[in-house]
Copies of this chain bind each other. A is one copy, B any other.
Amino acid sequence: MTKIAILGFGVVGSGTAEVLTENKALIEERLGSSYEIRYILDLRDFPDSPFADRVVHDFNIILNDPEVSVVAEMMGGSHPAYDFTKACLEAGKHVVTSNKEVVSTFGVELCRIAKEHGVRYLFEASVGGGIPVIRPMINDLSSNKINKISGILNGTTNYILTSMRDQGASFSDALTEAQKLGYAEANPSADVDGIDAARKIVILAALACGKLADPKTIPTEGITAITLTDTKMAQAFGYSVKLVGHAKVSEDGKLTAFVSPRMVPACNPLSRIDGVFNGILVDANMVGEVMFYGPGAGKLPTASAVVADIIDIIANRDKATKPILWEAAAVSDMADFADYTCRRLFLLKDGGSLPSALEKAELRRIDGTVGALTEAMTETEASALAESVKDMLLSVYRVLD
């Protein structure tokens, strides 16, 4: 009998309790052993919940109960989630989480502590919600060197961008709609400013190269400045505007990781990931491109991934498993972002004559705006070009080549 504690009885926490209960018979049959939810930690009481008798308010009850061997942390935020996770691992309890903020910020330390105490720290639900991506990257692409990852990692922004493209909604109208539907929070900054996607792409990048970059320092642009003209211009070129987390490991092992709106060509399968869905496209040296697609958030989908981690732990509890171990990415581990190379789409006020630097660009005109699609160029070159046309410049997009 495995005794499980749930930290945080919000959306994902209550979903985890629901999955563990709803599919109990099937999961216990697969495991060949039984489990129970022993505690649920939350500040609130839930008198009407079927789990009311499991709710506790004092974390130490869980920490000090030696029978609790698996803890599912779904509190969100860094503190006390990080502190509780660390304490549980140090007490020899396995921890699973959906908390991308904690994994992306403290993953190096927490993975190391888990290893030192012979327990596991798993976080399938921290990226892509219910989509299997972390374990498949480790176990199924194990024969590959991973070269590149491009992901639509945030359902809120993808819902907004899909509405802008398909319904012609403005950014603010689409955001309001997303908030009404519960897809966006009252304070949407973590989503629309790309912060959530940055946390997720550094986790995926660490799986590819073993180095965890600081999500706060990688280049991160959100979607707040995207206009309807931009999305129309994208369509004129056969592109969709998507917020993409991108990671690339160069031949010499240096890592590039950033988040920005991208012009995604129709031939790229990410162009068709719409609404609140997520998609993660992985380019690996033997298999080529594979993509994982599904619900990137939501109560039961995310809980499905949390419980898959719990099952993994229970099924392998008496075996030595290979720990995930990362190093913190040093400055010298990172490629110089100034050298990042891709095609660019410049949007300029139409009217004046185009500068010679854009003479070879492919041009489209709509709504008094000219779109100029360039050859591949570096960030440095793109900045210089933007500076040279600054009087006409509306925006510049990277193409996802």
Q: Is A132 an interface residue (CB 8 A)?
A: yes
- Is there an interface contact between B136 and A140, defined as CB atoms closer than 8 Å? yes
- Is there an interface contact between B294 and A293, defined as CB atoms closer than 8 Å? no
Give per-residue flags for A240-275: 1 if the beta carbon is below 8 A from chain B beta carbons, else 0: 000000000000000000000000000001001000
Give per-residue flags for A68-95: 1 if the beta carbon is below 8 A from chain B beta carbons, else 0: 0000000000000000000000000000
Interface size range of chain A in the complex: 35 or more
- Is there an interface contact between B22 and A286, defined as CB atoms closer than 8 Å? yes
- Is there an interface contact between B143 and A135, defined as CB atoms closer than 8 Å? no
Closest Cβ of chain B to A70, distance in Å, is 13
Q: Which residue of B lies closest to A25 (CB)?
A: B145
Interface majority SS on A: helix, strand, loop or mixed?
mixed
- Is there an interface contact between A27 and B308, defined as CB atoms closer than 8 Å? no
- Is there an interface contact between A292 and B295, defined as CB atoms closer than 8 Å? no
Closest Cβ of chain B to A150, distance in Å, is 13
Give per-residue flags for A141-176: 1 if the beta carbon is below 8 A from chain B beta carbons, else 0: 111110000000000000000000000000000000
Contacts A131-B290, A286-B301 hold; do A308 and B272 have CB atoms under 8 A apart? no
Closest Cβ of chain B to A319, distance in Å, is 4
- Is there an interface contact between A285 and B141, defined as CB atoms closer than 8 Å? no
- Is there an interface contact between B322 and A315, defined as CB atoms closer than 8 Å? yes
Q: Is A186 an interface residue (CB 8 A)?
A: no
Give per-residue flags for A279-296: 1 if the beta carbon is below 8 A from chain B beta carbons, else 0: 000001111111111110
Q: Which residue of B lies closest to A134 (CB)?
A: B140
A30 to B290, CA, bound (A): 21
Q: Which residue of B lies closest to A293 (CB)?
A: B291
Partner of A294, one of B290, B305, B308: B290
A301 to B288, CA, bound (A): 7
- Which residues on B sit within 8 Å (CB–CB) of A293? 269, 290-293
- Which residues on B sit within 8 Å (CB–CB) of A19? 143, 286
Q: Is A304 an interface residue (CB 8 A)?
A: yes
- Which residues on B sit within 8 Å (CB–CB) of A294? 287-291
Contacts A269-B272, A272-B272, A286-B22 hold; do A143 and B304 have CB atoms under 8 A apart? yes
Give per-residue flags for A314-334: 1 if the beta carbon is below 8 A from chain B beta carbons, else 0: 011001101000000000000
Closest Cβ of chain B to A7, distance in Å, is 18
- Is there an interface contact between B319 and A320, defined as CB atoms closer than 8 Å? yes
Q: Is A64 an interface residue (CB 8 A)?
A: no
Q: Which residue of B lies closest to A131 (CB)?
A: B290
A22 to B142, CA, bound (A): 13
Q: Is A124 an interface residue (CB 8 A)?
A: yes
- Which residues on B sit within 8 Å (CB–CB) of A139? 132, 135, 139, 308, 312
- Which residues on B sit within 8 Å (CB–CB) of A272? 269, 272
Q: Lowest 6 CB-CB distances: which A-B pairs, in order?
A: A132-B140, A290-B294, A143-B307, A130-B287, A287-B304, A291-B293
Residue contacts A-B, CB under 8 angstroms, 19 given: A19-B286, A23-B285, A130-B290, A135-B140, A139-B312, A140-B305, A140-B308, A143-B304, A143-B308, A287-B301, A287-B305, A288-B298, A288-B301, A289-B295, A290-B294, A292-B293, A315-B322, A316-B319, A319-B320
